[in-house]
Amino acid sequence: MQRMLMAFSACFLLVLLQIFSASLFSLAQDQSGFISLDCGSPKGTTFREKTTNLTYISDANFINTGIGRSIKQAYRTQFQQQTWNLRSFPQGIRNCYTLNLTIGDEYLIRTNFLHGGYDDKPSTEFELHLGPNLWTKVSTTNENQTSIFEMIHLLTTDRLQICLVKTGDSTPFISALELRKLMNTTYLTQQGSLQNFIRADVGSTTNQTFRYGIDVFDRVWIPFNFGNWSQISTNQTVNVNNDYQPPEIVMATASVPTDPDEPMNITLVGVERTVRFYVFMHFAEIQELSSNETREFNIVYNDKHIYGPFRPLNFTTTSVFTPTEVVADANGQYIFSIQRTGNSTLPPLLNAMEVYMVNLLSQQETERKEVDAMMNIKSSYGVNKIDWEGDPCVPRDYRWSGVNCTDIDNEIPKIISLNLSSSGLTGELLEYISDLTNLEVLDLSNNSLTGSVPEFLANMETLKVINLSGNELNGSIPATLLDKAQRGSISLSIEGNTGLCSSASCVKKKKKTVIAPVAASLVSVFLIAAGIVTFLILKRRKKRAKLGFNPNLGTGTTPLHSTSHHGYESPVIAKNRKLTYIDVVKMTNNFERVLGRGGFGVVYYGVLDNEPVAVKMLTESTALGYKQFKAEVELLLRVHHKDLTCLVGYCEEGEKMSLIYEFMANGDLKEHLSGKRGPSVLTWEGRLRIAAESAQGLEYLHNGCKPQIVHRDIKTTNILLNEKFQAKLADFGLSRSFPLGTETHVSTVVAGTPGYLDPEYYRTNWLTEKSDVFSFGVVLLELVTNRPVIDQKRERPHIGEWVGLMLSRGDITSIVDPKLQGDFDPNTIWKVVETAMTCLNPSSSRRPTMTQVVMDLKECLNMEMARNMGTRMTDSTNDSSIEISMNFTTELNPGAR
């Protein structure tokens, strides 16, 4: 019984059950998102492995080091073909595979090691690294021992490096490297990545292991049973269509306690008490129960009631997981128990379970731009240094020779020194060097570099030492670089470059004779132009003074320390964006046409430079109103994105304040959902496009702006549509910028719209970007349901609670907007609802980022577009009707709560 882990933290999450689309299933069977490398095989090698039907290719295009070797012929009949070759690394300390992937994707990464007698030293010990972080230690004792390690990892960059590190006398090697793309909604963690501890087919009645062909994600399921458990099975179909999609053959069997009155206990022993785990269980009722039979149980961890009572669904998979890390109790124990309730006539059951150890991967990688620069320098100059593998800066013990980096805990490493002296470099000085934006010392001495000294060296602000001596450079040195050297702000060494001129005498006298009269002419022209401009400005001010205007509040400059009529500091604004009140009156034709009304004021139609605009007038001269006005102007002048409304100009003359936006011909999203814009109905594809575009705008505020910006008032009335129905976020009066530094939140007075307001923010006054995520989740539910956010007539007034209730009853049709008339892919409906409900998690730490939301919505949009174009892939084994299983999210709380 004490062979493995099953442990739970204080909360569980009942997974949103979702049908996979036929196209996604087909793609998985076609190995889309799979990378299968046969390590050490000759370049160009491709084969299809017989037992799994997986296609493997040579690893030669993913690594530049190592030697291809083969195992003994006698072992080829015992092991799969992808282990017949291996790549050995007799040279260097660290050797790395590099794969260019997509940031934000989640992969199952599997490594396979079989010595196979390729040399006479089968006893080996070395380290396996994921980027700069230790993954695990690899140890083999005999030549026919196979070691397999798995990691589930969410990519935080678009480059993945798998490194083998020599730690002693033995030679590192690897047989196969496999990557399997997973759903981004599964195996979520609060931090770190997940190392596989066990993936168990709990009710297996055979000793067979299942993987690809049975499991669409090529997870390996190992048969596992306890001695005091009995097995049950079914021949009926078991629905496995949730995000985890465990194999049906696994879910068609289960274990129950042999003594029906005994609990199912699972304990982990022999593990350090500091280890943290995530646990995933998969349940399905696989027996036909009579009317007087009930299977109901509670989940207990370390003697504490965690969840229940719970009844598995008939022949339908429910996946339960720990949303936070499982930790040991005070005694170092990890004990999980499934216990029948007093109402249950049947014992508990368990079909399958997965247990993963948390690997924090705490060492941050060097800034991507600097890594790219070093890679380009390495390849362009043909630098052949055996230790130039992996990350240039980290871990510190494996830092590239000639490279020095910042070494501050919890900060991204930056390259501050590059020494390539006497490295046999030829050619010109590469502009890639300028991408090392934190470089302080550059030593390229004693090489064979040619060409001139480039201007970019003078523009590198942090550079303090440049040593170019002993090369074959020629021409003149940039004047700005010479000036820095003469002022002592930079140390410049150029000795030994016979063709290089380092003084002002390099400039020919002939050029001087030309420069002098040209300069004199330019001065004359400048003085004449300045006089004309001064005359025009004075004449204009005189004219406007007659009209009673303060020139400091017009189109001229704003005084550095001026204040408005309200006594608040005026925003610092680009001059060409500021308009007069007379301009506003003219462009709106004396405020003739009202477009809408809001808390800020009234919005009017206008025309500026023959282009339609929307003019929003501030109606109340209050401190709050002015603060919002100022915030919106300053924000929109520094952020620019195609999915954010564009500020054309603004007016601030005493009490007269207005914002001038680009005109959005199709109003706001709420108007279209409510029917105020006429009888036409937004299609499901149109709604998905609007959701994706507005999500992109919000993602830009969160991740593309420095400092980060939180909108604070995301709602359907603040999503505007232009003439092409492109969506753009609007109304930034409540937006807040985060302070620069390490802060993850700001404490602020609560602001927002009821129904959209994050309850955690309302309760704590702590604002984070996840507050916007909650509001956007409400918007997604509005797009699906077209129901009010708050409706006191409903059984559950808030739209999120109401949708959760409907889903718990398995009632999908009742929540979808009937105006869509069934014209949608049900799978995309479920995906959007699932994303929305995750956004509405009461705990902000468990909500997705907007980057994850954007990816989910784009996936749904692509599926719906493909369906509408008639090119969507389908599973030929299914009929035209798609069975929708129950999908809902429920937090599993301790009984005391």
Contacts of 386 (CB under 8 A, 6+ apart): 91, 92
Contact yes or no for 289/858 (Cβ under 8 A): no
Mean pLDDT of 426-439: 95
d(CA 176, CA 584): 69
Residue 291 is predicted with a pLDDT of 93
pLDDT higher than 90, residue 40:
yes
- The region of weakest confidence among 288-297, 334-343, 634-643 is 634-643
pLDDT band at 353 (very low <50, low <70, confident <90, very high): very high
Q: What is the DSSP string of 413-428?
A: --EEEEE-TTS--EES
Contact yes or no for 684/820 (Cβ under 8 A): yes
d(CA 792, CA 716): 20
**Cα–Cα–Cα angle for 319, 201, 114, rounded to 5 degrees:** 120
pLDDT higher than 90, residue 13:
no
d(CA 764, CA 490): 51
Q: Which residue has the higher pLDDT, 301 or 437?
A: 437
Residue 598 is predicted with a pLDDT of 65
Strands of 297-301's sheet, edge to edge?
A: 264-268, 334-340, 297-301, 304-310
Residue 564 is predicted with a pLDDT of 33
For the structural domain made of 552-663, what CATH number should be given? 3.30.200.20
Span 134-190, pLDDT tens digits: 999 999 999 999 999 999 999 988 899 999 999 999 999 999 999 999 998 899 888
Q: For residue 173, give the 3-state DSSP assignment.
A: strand
Span 542-563, pLDDT tens digits: 433 333 333 222 333 222 222 3
Which positions are catalytic? 713
Residue 764 is predicted with a pLDDT of 78
pLDDT higher than 60, residue 826:
yes
Residue type (1 letter), 694: S
Length of the chain: 897
Contact yes or no for 83/71 (Cβ under 8 A): yes
Span 655-688, pLDDT tens digits: 788 888 889 888 899 999 988 887 778 999 999 9
**Looking at the chain, which residues constitute the CATH 3.30.200.20 domain(s)?**
552-663
Q: Which two tokens stand for residue 253?
A: 């069997």
Residue 879 is predicted with a pLDDT of 31
Q: What is the DSSP string of 187-254?
A: S--SSSEEEEEEEEETT-SS---B-BTTBTT---BEE---TTEEEEE-SS--B--SSS---HHHHTEE
Mean pLDDT of 17-32: 42
**Looking at the chain, which residues constitute the CATH 1.10.510.10 domain(s)?**
682-892
Q: What is the DSSP string of 755-795?
A: TTS-HHHHHH-EE-HHHHHHHHHHHHHHHHH---SB-TTSS
Residue 3 is predicted with a pLDDT of 38
d(CA 178, CA 804): 38
* H/E stretch holding 47: strand 46-48
Instruction: Give the relative orientation of helices 826-839 and 684-699 as an angle to the nearest 10 degrees.
Output: 30
Cis omega before residue 707 (within 30°)?
A: yes
Residue 739 is predicted with a pLDDT of 52
**Which backbone phi and psi does 94 adopt, to 5 degrees?**
-125, 130
- The region of weakest confidence among 202-211, 358-367, 431-440, 503-512 is 503-512
Half-sphere exposure of 577 (CA within 13 A, CB side): 19
Residue where the block lists tokens 């030293």: 121
Q: How many other CB atoms are found less than 10 A from the CB of residue 782? A: 24
- The region of weakest confidence among 8-22, 99-113, 134-148, 246-260 is 8-22
pLDDT higher than 60, residue 537:
no
d(CA 528, CA 280): 79
Q: For residue 15, give the 3-state DSSP assignment.
A: coil
pLDDT band at 334 (very low <50, low <70, confident <90, very high): confident
Residue 609 is predicted with a pLDDT of 85
Domain spanning 32-184: CATH superfamily: Galactose-binding lectin (2.60.120.430)
Contact yes or no for 391/414 (Cβ under 8 A): no
| Residue 853: closest CA among 678, 621, 669, 691 | 691
Span 54-100, pLDDT tens digits: 999 999 999 999 999 999 999 999 999 999 999 999 999 999 999 99
Mean pLDDT of 249-277: 91
Q: How far is CA 369 from CA 427, 434, 548, in A?
A: 23, 11, 55
The mean predicted confidence, pLDDT, of the chain is 82
Span 694-753, pLDDT tens digits: 999 999 888 887 778 888 889 999 999 988 899 999 887 677 776 544 444 454 556 678
510 in a known ligand binding site:
no
Contact yes or no for 428/445 (Cβ under 8 A): no
Q: Which two tokens stand for residue 849?
A: 């980022």
Q: Which residue has the higher pLDDT, 636 or 377?
A: 377
d(CA 352, CA 696): 38
Whether domain 682-892 has CATH 3.30.390.30: the reply is: no
Strands (E) across 250-296 are located at 253-257, 264-268, 277-283
Mean pLDDT of 782-806: 91
Output Rg (C-alpha) for the chain, integer angstroms.
Answer: 33
| Residue 413: closest CA among 131, 744, 136, 155 | 131
Residue 395 is predicted with a pLDDT of 93
SS3 readout for 348-399: CCECEEEEEEEECCCCCCCCHHHHHHHHHHHHHHCCCCCCCCCCCCCCHHHC
Q: Which two tokens stand for residue 557?
A: 């400059």
**Looking at the chain, which residues constitute the CATH 3.80.10.10 domain(s)?**
368-506
pLDDT higher than 60, residue 509:
no
- The region of weakest confidence among 46-60, 497-511, 634-648 is 497-511
Contacts of 869 (CB under 8 A, 6+ apart): none
Percent of the chain residues past pLDDT 70, beyond the cut? 81
Please give the class, per CATH, of domain 198-352: mainly beta
Span 607-648, pLDDT tens digits: 998 889 999 887 655 444 566 677 667 666 667 788 988 888
Assigned fold of 368-506: 3.80.10
Residue where the block lists tokens 């910042």: 406
Contacts of 73 (CB under 8 A, 6+ apart): none
d(CA 194, CA 175): 22
